[in-house]
């Protein structure tokens, strides 16, 4: 395995040394306090794919120790999203809250060992006793309480005898440690809150640090992969696993989180965008949430490929949107059926077209005959995109202009004879003539090749659809690093709605979530706001890399 990333190198070494009997067991541990975003997808892919690669297992564990922010709506959405990405945890769905009894017992073990004490300093006092990065802390006067008294006090905490904030349970480690997390960290606090799963059983709740490593150990996790901000917590993770003499001793490994340009990923910021209605809900196609990306038309495969392509590092960086979009484009090029759509129509009348109609039957996918063909009519009246016509075109404009020729894709070469405008000077119709002998790409002997090819739809039978066009949600690559509040950098052009676009009449069996390539325009996906006959499309990604141009 020469191309192993650094986590795989650790695992390879562990397997060589028969650590954990060669097992690999990972977990994805979301806190159910928001919807999953593309950063979580990175962690999901990493954990589940490591397990797959080493024939191991990966658990899904809800890290639900904070009853204030957590909600079952989020839980359901998270389960749906991980499944949608294509991962399976079999029967290994766990909840940290299911370990509350065991965690309580472990806290008692720690007290009995003289390694934990109940502390009654006020929050302000706790802070000042803690010292700083340059100053050691000072021992709490409660540090010398006897084991018996600590056991009694902790029991009273559990029984609800004290108000919130009156006491906490702290690990007794080292107030002079250079690592602030080791300065007698709080491991239990009083919180008189209803828990969605544990209901009203508890009025004390374990802190994250007292929950995570133990939960990993209970589940016999071997490699506990997390993001870099937990690096300074690792000594505490190891200390607890050691002092509690747990059977399984998982290894915490940190990697750099995924950051993506022109978006935000923190759950708190996402909640703000949704609740303050800067976007239209959790699944707004402009968001970095998996629900949003799914609605936009990004497939699980594209997200997994993207995640894998980034590798795993210990260095924080910003990934360009272009990188993500390239994977989406690559996937859609293969999967999306082709269709012609006119976003901003100009009517074209083919004055010498005498027939009723001529049937055209282009392939659904140019590289895959097996997917069959579409069928619709070429008629006297068609629509082309306004962008494909210019009254006074520059030399390099290979589309239509007065007295110019263009080829209509799958149809004929037409010549523009006359431009008709309304009172305001806006072009409303082009009168053209067609060359009967040019159907479907044919070029009669001796005739010059027509350079421009444009798309079109038959005017009468085209279906009217709504198309939502997207730009990045923010105008700045890193809106959270700017001077002003991130909301100030919301892109006013992040969404534009085209109410009347016209699509080739071959959509009949389409369904929500299906993606198409609008020929020459990009990839688009049917939105959940659609109803039969009233299709709404989301622009998923442009046909070419729009970012490359900007650089
Ligand atoms: P946020 O900071 O976005 O609110 P979080 O870290 O609080 O997210 P958790 O539910 O605790 O969210 O995350 C579950 C797992 O996903 C954790 O292991 C966390 O490290 C990982 N994770 C979260 N954000 C990212 C990211 N941007 N890149 C990679 N992994 C991430
Ligand atoms: Mg977290």
* pLDDT for the residue numbered 452: 92
Ligand having the closest approach to the CA of 63: 1
- CA 165 – ligand 1 centroid, Å: 28
Distance CA 361, CA 347 (A): 22
Distance CA 60, CA 187 (A): 24
Domains of the chain: 6-259 (3.40.50.620), 261-335+463-503+507-551 (2.40.240.10), 338-462 (2.40.240.10)
**pLDDT for 551 beyond 90:** no
- CA 342 – ligand 2 centroid, Å: 45
* pLDDT for the residue numbered 533: 82
The minimum-distance atom of ligand 1 relative to the CA of 29 is 14
Distance CA 221, CA 214 (A): 10
Q: Which stretch of DSSP H or E encloses residue 100?
A: helix 100-112
- CA 33 – ligand 2 centroid, Å: 9
- pTM recorded for the entire structure: 0.95
Distance CA 546, CA 17 (A): 49
Top mutation candidate among 227, 268, 293 for ligand 1, by most atoms within 8 Å of CB? 227
- Phi then psi for residue 469, to 5 deg, are -100, 140
Section 175-179 average pLDDT: 97
- CA 31 – ligand 2 centroid, Å: 6
Nearest protein CA to atom 22 of ligand 1, as residue: 40
Nearest to 414 by CA among 422, 406, 425, 402: 406
Tens of pLDDT along 416-451? 999 999 999 999 999 999 999 999 989 998 889 998
* pLDDT for the residue numbered 318: 95
Residue position matching structure tokens 């540090």: 143
Nearest protein CA to atom 13 of ligand 1, as residue: 30
* pLDDT for the residue numbered 147: 98
Top mutation candidate among 40, 257, 267, 318 for ligand 1, by most atoms within 8 Å of CB? 40
Tens of pLDDT along 341-361? 999 999 999 999 999 999 999
The minimum-distance atom of ligand 1 relative to the CA of 230 is 20
Mark residue 149 as left, alpha or beta (left: phi above 0; alpha: psi -120 to 50; beta: remaining).
alpha
- CA 267 – ligand 2 centroid, Å: 9
Ligand having the closest approach to the CA of 229: 1
**pLDDT for 2 beyond 80:** no
Residue position matching structure tokens 């509690």: 244
Section 255-272 average pLDDT: 96
Q: Helices (H), strands (E): how many in the chain?
A: 13, 27
What's the mean per-residue pLDDT of the chain? Answer: 96
Ligand having the closest approach to the CA of 272: 1
- CA 151 – ligand 2 centroid, Å: 30
Tens of pLDDT along 18-50? 999 999 999 999 999 999 999 999 999 999 999
Top mutation candidate among 43, 46, 95 for ligand 1, by most atoms within 8 Å of CB? 43
Confidence band, pLDDT 50/70/90 cuts, at residue 209: very high
Tens of pLDDT along 126-159? 999 999 999 999 999 999 999 999 999 999 999 9
Tens of pLDDT along 357-413? 999 999 999 999 999 999 999 999 999 999 999 999 998 889 999 999 999 999 999
Section 150-173 average pLDDT: 98
The minimum-distance atom of ligand 1 relative to the CA of 42 is 29
Nearest to 104 by CA among 219, 7, 198, 234: 198
Nearest protein CA to atom 29 of ligand 1, as residue: 257
Active-site positions read 31, 257, 267
Tens of pLDDT along 267-315? 999 999 999 999 999 999 999 999 999 999 999 999 999 999 999 999 9
Tens of pLDDT along 52-111? 999 999 999 999 999 888 788 999 999 999 999 999 999 999 999 999 999 999 999 999
Q: What are the Cα distances from residue 188, in Å, to 102, 167, 255?
A: 13, 9, 28
Pocket of ligand 1 (CB under 6 A): 29-31, 39-40, 42-43, 226-227, 257-258, 265-267
* pLDDT for the residue numbered 44: 98
Confidence band, pLDDT 50/70/90 cuts, at residue 1: very low
- Strand runs labelled E in 292-380: 317-319, 337-339, 341-342, 345-350, 358-360, 376-378
- CA 258 – ligand 1 centroid, Å: 9
Nearest protein CA to atom 2 of ligand 1, as residue: 266
The minimum-distance atom of ligand 1 relative to the CA of 257 is 28
């Amino acid at each position: 395995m020469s191309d192993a990333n650094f986590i795989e190198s650790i695992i390879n070494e562990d397997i060589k040394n028969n650590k954990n009997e060669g097992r690999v067991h990972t977990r994805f541990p979301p806190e159910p306090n928001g919807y999953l975003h593309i950063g979580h997808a990175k962690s999901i892919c990493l954990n589940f794919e490591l397990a797959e690669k080493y024939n191991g297992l990966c658990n899904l564990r809800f890290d639900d120790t904070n009853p204030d922010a957590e909600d079952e709506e989020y839980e359901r959405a998270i389960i749906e999203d991980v499944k949608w990405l294509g991962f399976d945890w079999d029967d290994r769905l766990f909840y940290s809250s299911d370990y509350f009894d065991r965690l309580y017992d472990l806290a008692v073990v720690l007290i009995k060992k003289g390694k934990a004490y109940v502390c009654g300093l006020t929050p302000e006092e706790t802070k000042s006793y803690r010292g700083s990065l340059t100053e050691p802390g000072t021992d709490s006067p409660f540090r010398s309480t006897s084991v018996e008294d600590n056991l009694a006090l902790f029991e009273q905490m559990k029984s609800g005898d004290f108000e919130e904030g009156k006491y906490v349970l702290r690990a007794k480690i080292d107030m002079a440690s250079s690592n602030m997390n080791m300065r007698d960290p709080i491991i239990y606090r009083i919180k008189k809150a209803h828990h969605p799963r544990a209901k009203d059983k508890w009025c004390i709740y374990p802190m994250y640090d007292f929950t995570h490593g133990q939960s990993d150990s209970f589940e016999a996790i071997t490699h506990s992969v997390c993001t870099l901000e937990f690096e300074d917590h690792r000594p505490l993770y190891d200390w607890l696993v050691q002092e509690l003499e747990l059977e399984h001793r998982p290894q915490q490994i940190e990697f750099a989180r995924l950051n993506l340009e022109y978006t935000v990923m923190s759950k708190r910021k996402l909640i703000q965008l949704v609740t303050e209605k800067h976007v239209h809900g959790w699944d707004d196609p402009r968001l970095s949430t998996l629900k949003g990306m799914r609605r936009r038309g990004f497939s699980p495969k594209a997200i997994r490929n993207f995640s894998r392509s980034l590798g795993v590092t210990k260095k924080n960086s910003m990934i360009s949107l272009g990188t993500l979009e390239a994977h989406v484009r690559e996937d859609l090029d293969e999967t999306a059926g082709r269709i012609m759509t006119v976003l901003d129509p100009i009517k074209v009348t083919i004055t010498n077209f005498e027939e009723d109609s001529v049937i055209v039957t282009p392939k659904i996918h140019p590289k895959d005959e097996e997917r069959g063909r579409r069928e619709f009519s070429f008629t006297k009246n068609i629509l082309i995109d306004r962008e494909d016509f210019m009254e006074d075109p520059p030399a390099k404009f290979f589309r239509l202009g007065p007295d110019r020729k263009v080829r209509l894709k799958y149809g004929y070469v037409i010549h523009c004879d006359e431009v008709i405008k309304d009172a305001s000077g806006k072009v409303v119709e082009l009168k053209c003539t067609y060359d009967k002998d040019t159907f479907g790409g044919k070029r009669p002997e001796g005739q010059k090749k027509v350079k421009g090819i444009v798309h079109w739809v038959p005017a009468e039978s085209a279906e009217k659809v709504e198309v939502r066009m997207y730009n990045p949600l923010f105008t700045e690559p890193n809106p959270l690093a700017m001077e002003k509040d991130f909301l100030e950098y919301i892109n006013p052009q992040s969404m534009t709605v085209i109410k009347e676009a016209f699509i080739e009449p071959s959509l009949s069996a389409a369904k929500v979530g299906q993606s198409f390539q609008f020929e020459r325009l990009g990839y688009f996906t049917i939105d959940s706001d659609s109803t039969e006959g009233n299709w709404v499309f989301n622009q998923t990604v442009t046909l070419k890399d729009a970012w490359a141009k900007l650089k």
